[in-house]
Structure 1
Amino acid sequence: MCTTDKVKMKDSKSKKKIRVNVHLTDDYFQLENPADADPQLKPPDKDSNSRFLEKIVFVLTSVAVILLTHGLTWAHWLLPFIYATSTPILVGIKTICYWRYKWQYFMVDFCYFANTLTLIYLWFPGEEDLFRVVFALANGPVLVAAAVYRNSLVYHHHDKITSCYIHFLPALLTFSIRWFPESTSRFWIKPFISDTPAFDIVWLYAAPFAFFFLHSALYCLIVNIVVRPKEPYVTSYSYLADKYDRLNCIGGPWGQGLVFYAMNWLFCLSSLLPALLAYTYFPVHCALLALVFLVVLWNGASYYVHVFSERGFSTTE
């Protein structure tokens, strides 16, 4: 996600500008650019090298869409290789970029935790219970978050594309393994499940929520107890607490934290429900993926029509 915690501007006009940008961007309601929140952070004018990199991102994104489409429809064996090779690279680049703007605590959010769990499963593909957990998380909170947090398919923007990637690829990979295990395993180091594990409410609902709860405990320990990052560092907790005054409905920092984590738990429990249906019914799984993709595609179209068409390649784009 792209945001800073310097979002409290003195004049109301600046606040309105930030709010508009929040709803047109990437992951976790992020801002368009740190310069939108604080003019002092305005980067230098982009030179030809920056434009060249954006062209490369555009081309690579287009190629990735073609490869993923090919992998989903015919060469299912491509998906494990694409995921295993590209995930460390993209997440590494995003970590470096976020560190620069003091956003590195966003990298301990749950979506990265779930992607790490998916990578672990790739190297232990015979674990049926682990597959159920990974499937539920990938097609539940991680996939649904792409729509809830307004991910946008913006072809030339590496941060937006990476955000779409980390929310979408685990679902596409588990889709292929769930419905086409043999063809997905064709060239992988070990075969994936030969027979689809039976529906199990414990491993498809209770266990995934336990993993989500465990992440919440670790996140609370890091962000709210041990490190407790202050300005200019930003976390999901500090940003959403600043954006939504309703998190203060109980009062005090502990009451605010309780509301924050309770809302996250409710989101997880509710988003796991469509994953249960997707695990059981192939048409439902296809419809779920298509629906979320259309939302992400619509958000990307909104960016190009409402933001890019107005600003073009500005220094804060």
Structure 2
Amino acid sequence: MTSEYEPTTADSSSSSEAIFEDSGSDGAQDLSDVTATPVALSRSNSSSSVSYIDLSKLLLLSDFDFGLGLDQVGDSTKKRFNDMKKLTKDHISRLKLERPSRSTFLSDSINLTVGKNKELSKAQEVFIHRLSKFDQRINANLQSSATEKLFYALAVFTIAVSGFIIGKYPEWFHIFYTGLFCLLMPIRFYTYFKQSFQYYLADLCYYVNLLLVLFIWWFPASPTLFVSVFSLTMGTLSFAVITWRNSLVLHSIEKTTSSFIHIMPPVTMFVIVHELPESLIKQRFPAVASIESWDFVNGILWTSFYYTIWQVTYHYFITIKRKEKIEKGRVTSFSYLKKKNANKAIGRFVNSLPYNWMQITAFTLIQFGYQILTMIFCPIWFKYKHACGAFMCFIFIWASYNGATYYIDVFGKRLDKEVERLKREILELQEKKGKVEEKDLTDINNDKLNVEKVAEIDKDKVTKVD
């Protein structure tokens, strides 16, 4: 670097030579002249004039010589300084590329620990969320909605009103039954169509209820219809409470409706036959008054006639007309019974038949045989009032017992399932947390070892560079 206040190298050297030549001829005069005349500064090519070289200044501020005149050193000295500078830079670059610095490892370790803490916090949040869902499921299973509570109260009230009407105003009971039928059936139709269970509405129990309504309001003078309705209600519908396990669950509209369509028709026939005055029976239901004794064979024939009408209609409109939809997954009582009884002897027999029409025929004959079997007691129920009343009480108690079983066992099993599910979730979270903590300890130890190794490597490399 050339400053405007300093002479160039050529000027300073020529001036120096002239001064020393004049001093040889006249020393005193020359010395005074030298003292009086300003002397120009000179620089040497030797590196011995530099007493100390700051390496950091050479590396960081290479263009500033701090007044030491380093920019005028010789070429060989500059080359050595440049080589040293380049070597040091290469060393530092290799260290950065080979392994991160200690601060980088420490920051990575801190970030890893923070990440693990976030994982633990997330696991705790998941556990709290699952516990909250468990509490919601328990409350949903143990608590009923406002509609169910209201229906429970109405169901209890309906049972009380039914007993009051039977004892005080039996002539109004068939009207009471018809009102309940017109109220509950639209609800059943709506819920079953919504759940894709509409093919169940073609079952025998709904057909018998329809026959009873026809007998009460349109054909009260038909002895054949009365015999068929009495046989079907006291036979198939009553025993279906036992075989189909109808449950009187008062808060459930669905289960209470199922109990209604199986219990109320035989109770209505019991009231018409045994509780109404004879004068009213002759006037209102002449078909009942026309039968003095029960003809068992005649009852089987007429009942079989009405039963055949239902069975043929059912298989034509459901099994044949709706075959494609049934194959796609729509449920019918026939497909349900085949699946339910698949492991029983009768189910294995029906399912073993090679063709579908054979299975349908076998199912129809078995159902018809079940109907004939349940009709055996109809002469007793028709002749003896107290026996028929006791049988009705037995059916009602059986349905109530099934309802109590539902409340105690089903709700209890649901609660047990929820508790077991929560236990499994807690164990899974504990195992996950233990694995995370174990991994954290291992990672922390590994991080410490890595930091120590990096510190040793850095120390060794710095020593070699020095």
Same fold (TM over 0.5): yes
| Distance across 1 between alignment mates of 2:302 and 2:249 | 34
Query: What is residue 179 of structure 1 aligned with on the other side?
Result: 274
Q: Does 1:192 align with 2:289?
A: no
Report if aligned partners of 1:133, 1:203 keep a CA contact under 8 Å in 2: no
State the alpha-carbon separation in 2 of the partners of residues 310 and 236 from structure 1. Answer: 27
- Distance in 2, Cα, partners of 1:227 & 1:267: 26
1:238 aligned partner: 335
Q: Which has the larger radius of gyration?
A: 2
**8 Å CA contact 1:102, 1:232 repeated in 2:** no
**Does structure 1 retain, via aligned residues, the 8 Å contact 2:171–2:276?**
no
User: Structure 2 residue aligned with 1:300, among 372, 389, 403?
Assistant: 403
Aligned to 1:39: none
User: C-alpha separation between the residues in 2 aligned to 1:115 and 1:75?
Assistant: 22
Does the alignment pair 1:261 with 2:261?
Answer: no
Letter in 2 for 1:278: W
What are structure 2's unaligned runs of at least 5 residues? 1-138, 343-347, 419-466
Secondary structure, aligned partner of 2:334: helix
Q: Which amino acid aligns with 1:211?
A: Y
Name the aligned partner's letter for residue 99 of structure 1.
F
Coordinate RMSD, CA, aligned = 2.6
Q: Following TM superposition, by how much is the alpha carbon of 1:127 offset from its aligned partner in structure 2, in angstroms?
A: 2.9
Q: Give 1:102-251 correspondences, 5 Å limit.
A: 102-124=196-218, 125-182=220-277, 185=280, 191-193=284-286, 195=289, 197-198=291-292, 199-228=294-323, 229-230=325-326, 231-245=328-342, 246=348, 247-251=350-354
Residue 209 of structure 1 deviates from its aligned partner by 2.1
Q: Deviations over 1:211-270 (max 9, x none)?
A: 112211111112221211323321101111222232213232122212211211111110
Correspondence for 2:170 among 49, 55, 76: 76
Where relative contact order (Cα < 8 A, 6+ residues apart) is larger, the structure is: 1
- Separation (CA, whole Å) in 2 of partners of 1:155 and 1:277: 31
Percentage of pairs with the same residue: 25
What is the CA deviation profile of residues 189-212 of structure 1, one whole-angstrom value per residue up to 9, with x for unaligned ones?
x62237362223355322112211
Q: Provide the secondary structure at the position in 2 that maps to 1:153.
A: coil
Counterpart of 1:311 in structure 2 is: 414
Could you say if the C-alpha distance between residues 56 and 71 of structure 1 is closer, same or farther in structure 2, counting changes exceeding 3 Å?
A: same
**After the TM superposition, which residues 1-40 of structure 1 pair with which residues of structure 2 at under 5 Å, given as runs?**
none
* Deviations 1:58-108 (CA, angstroms, capped at 9, x unpaired): 011101110111122232123111111110221111111011111000000
* Corresponding letter in the other structure for 1:173: T
Cα distance between partner residues in 2 of 1:90 and 1:185: 28
User: 2:124 maps to which residue?
Assistant: none
List gaps (5 residues or longer) in structure 1. Answer: 1-44
More helix by share: 2
How far off is 1:286 after superposition?
1.6
Is the 1:78–1:184 Cα contact (8 Å) retained in structure 2? no
Q: Which amino acid aligns with 2:176?
A: I
Give the letter aligned to residue 142 of structure 1.
L
Bigger shift: 203-212 or 140-149?
203-212
Could you tell me how far apart the structure 2 residues matched to 1:292 and 1:213 are? 26
**1:276 has 2:379 as partner:** yes
Q: Which amino acid aligns with 1:261?
A: T
Give, in whole Å, the separation in 2 of the partners of 1:265 and 1:151: 21
Q: State how far apart, in whole Å, the 2-side matches of 1:184 and 1:296 are.
A: 34
Shift in Å, 1:128 = 3.2
The TM-score normalised by the length of structure 2 is 0.53
Letter of the structure 2 residue corresponding to residue 191 of structure 1:
R
TM-score (norm 1): 0.77
Count of equivalent residues: 266
